[in-house]
Structure 1
Amino acid sequence: MLAFLSAPLLGLLTGGDWNPADLSRTDVWAIVTSLAGGAAAVTIVALFGTPLAFYLARTRGRLSAVAEALVLIPMLTPALALGILLASVYGPAAPAGEFFSHIGLTLTNTPAAFVLASLYGALPTYVLTARSAFVEVPVEYERVARTLGDTQMRVFFRVTLPLAQRGLAAALALCWVRALGEFGVVLIIAYFPAGMPVQLWTDVQDLGIQAVFPLVATFLLVTLPVPLWLGLRARRLPA
């Protein structure tokens, strides 16, 4: 099984004569777009997705069930279909699109649109993974801290977050990969400026597989280290 999982990397290493430095100007801009847009999306997801994940982990009832269903819908919707639906909401002729355009924010084929697409790709994955991390934290520890005089906010930052850090690290790792690797939604509402997945698709159509190996290698280089580091760090953390 390990050999099977390693085969794609072997294909990259033995994929003919190519130079990692053979990146075109459009490839470089795609890298910048993905890194900047992905970092912005992950930051927003962590800030707003973490409270939502904690709410889902600690609340039971119809309202939380509806909230969880709303989190699941973007994840279960095919990416291309989701992109089309987002275009119908945030497009220039749509009410939401017109509203944002009036405040100088265009949400189709702009860097902001790239961040929006990455948010829809990464947020559900982060929230569900982070929720599982919070579920693993014993509620009794939080109750003890409350009886000692800590506020709910202090309990969250001093007790809950440290105990959930392994799972949250995994959630951030998956979020980073989804934000940088989202293709279907980005293809519909943020074709320009192209991120790395869209640029790879365009280059394959125009130049062939052999010509895109430098960008593929760069894509892996900027995508894999963060989740690998977070995952390995989580393994070293005390139980």
Structure 2
Amino acid sequence: MSTSESRNRVVANRGGWLSGRTPFVILGAVLFVYVCYPFVAFLWRLDGFDSAAATDPATLSAVRYSLTTAPVATVLATVFGVPLAYVLARSSFRGKSVVEALVIVPLVLPPVVAGLLLLTGFGSLTPVGSFARSVGIRLTDSYVGIVLAQTFVASPFVVITSRAGFAGIDDQLEEAARSLGSSPVGTFWNVSVPLARNSILAGIVLTFARAVGEFGATMLVAYHPHTMPVQIWVAFGSQGLDATVPLVVLLALIGFSVVFALQALGRTPTLTR
């Protein structure tokens, strides 16, 4: 078959694929347009962008707190979440389903409820909060409080995606490494983690994005100092929609960066095995 004939057949197949799936394309296009429309409507308002608002001290402070707390929350979630994911993927024990369910619960809870739970556990009048205060650490309305809220709501992402990555590894590869003298920890670092690398990285990226965008739990646990989502709410309530533009644009850019990072990893993280 000649090159031109092959090309014509490919074009014909593409046309047939589209014509045969027109109903799916139409239905999918409805959702696509619906998702894109708010972005377009918001960008249409950028003619009212106030450049002074972008350099406002409150705005800069919110950006600083969000971009310094989210990485800390992401590191904490990764350091403790990846080993947990490995245990869930490779072990069977009584109550495992309960542990897995509890790990996922922060994803399905309304953020405000997550904040209330954190307040009952780490509030200033709780035993943990009182002890922390006695050693000079504030767990609410502080940098630490922001990290606590972000870690609670965002950590499930790295656990779930990492677990899926570990579960997809042929356990015979790990057994082979153990038979060659590798310790369990050595096998984890040298075999399991490299093979599950894409899933782990996807979870890290999603965790960071969720931490940056966290609002409800952070507002209850650490209203002060303001993070970007909290500052957006404050600016909207006091000055209107136009005052929120700088922070909204920045958060949108972070969101797009997350999407591109996930695409660069070459896979989409899944929530189940």
Fold match, TM over 0.5? yes
Of 97, 100, 104, which residue of structure 2 is paired with 1:68?
Answer: 100
Higher relative contact order (CA 8 A, sep 6+): 1
Find the partner of 1:135 among 167, 186, 189.
Answer: 167
For 1:12 and 1:164, the matched residues in 2 are separated by 38
Q: Does 1:48 align with 2:80?
A: yes
Q: Per-residue CA shift, 1:171-200, capped at 9, x if unaligned?
A: 112101111111110111110001001110
Tell me if 1:210 matches 2:242. yes
Which segment is superposed worse, 153-162 or 39-48? 153-162
Q: Aligned pair 1:28/2:60, yes or no?
A: yes
Instruction: Give 1:20 deviation, angstroms.
Output: 7.1
Aligned to 1:15: 45
Corresponding position: 1:230 with 2:252: no
Using the TM superposition, give the Cα deviation of residue 4 of structure 1 relative to its aligned residue in structure 2, in angstroms: 3.4
Preserved contact between residue 209 and residue 254 of structure 2 (Cα < 8 Å): no
Equivalent position of 2:36 in the other structure: 6
Counterpart residue number, 1:148: 180
CA distance in 1: counterparts of 2:256 and 2:237, whole angstroms = 25
Q: Secondary structure at the match of 1:144?
A: helix
The answer to whether 1:101 aligns with 2:143 is no
3-state DSSP of counterpart to 1:235: coil
**Moved >4 Å (runs of 4+):** none
Rounded to whole Å, the distance in 1 between the matches of 2:259 and 2:125 is: 42
How many correspondences in the alignment? Answer: 235
Q: For residue 213 of structure 1, report the CA deviation from its aligned partner.
A: 1.1
Q: Does 2:216 align with 1:184?
A: yes
CA distance in 1, matches of 2:248, 2:110: 24
Counterpart check, 1:221 vs 2:221: no
Amino acid in structure 1 at the alignment position of 2:200: L
**1:32-75: per-residue Cα shift (whole Å, max 9, x none)?**
00010101100111111110111111112224223223212333
One-letter identity of the residue aligned with 1:133: G
User: Percent identity of the aligned residues?
Assistant: 32
CA contact (8 A) 1:18 1:214 kept: no
State the TM-score, normalizing by the size of structure 1: 0.91
What is the alpha-carbon root mean square deviation over aligned residues? 1.8
Cα pair 2:50 2:242 within 8 Å, conserved: no
Stretch of structure 1 that moved more, 80-89 or 42-51: 80-89
| Shift of residue 3, structure 1, vs aligned partner | 3.6
- C-alpha displacement of 1:11: 2.5
Question: For residues 198 and 50 of structure 2, what CA distance do their matches in structure 1 show?
Answer: 34
Distance in 2, matches of 1:149 and 1:200, equals 55
Aligned residue number for residue 163 of structure 1: 195
Partner of 1:197: 229
Consecutive unaligned residues of structure 2, counting only runs of 5 or more, are: 1-28, 268-273
CA contact (8 A) 1:88 1:94 kept: yes
Contact 1:74 1:82 (8 Å CA) reproduced: yes
Q: 1:100, 1:70 → 2: CA distance?
A: 25
The code of the aligned residue for 1:232 comes to Q
Q: Is the 8 A contact 1:176 1:223 kept in 2?
A: no
Q: Distance between the aligned counterparts of 1:18 and 1:31, measured in 2?
A: 21
Any idea what SS the aligned residue of 2:188 has?
helix
Mean CA deviation greater in 11-20 or 132-141: 11-20
Q: Structure 1: give runs of 5+ residues left out of the alignment.
A: none
- Whichever residue aligns with residue 88 of structure 1, its letter is T
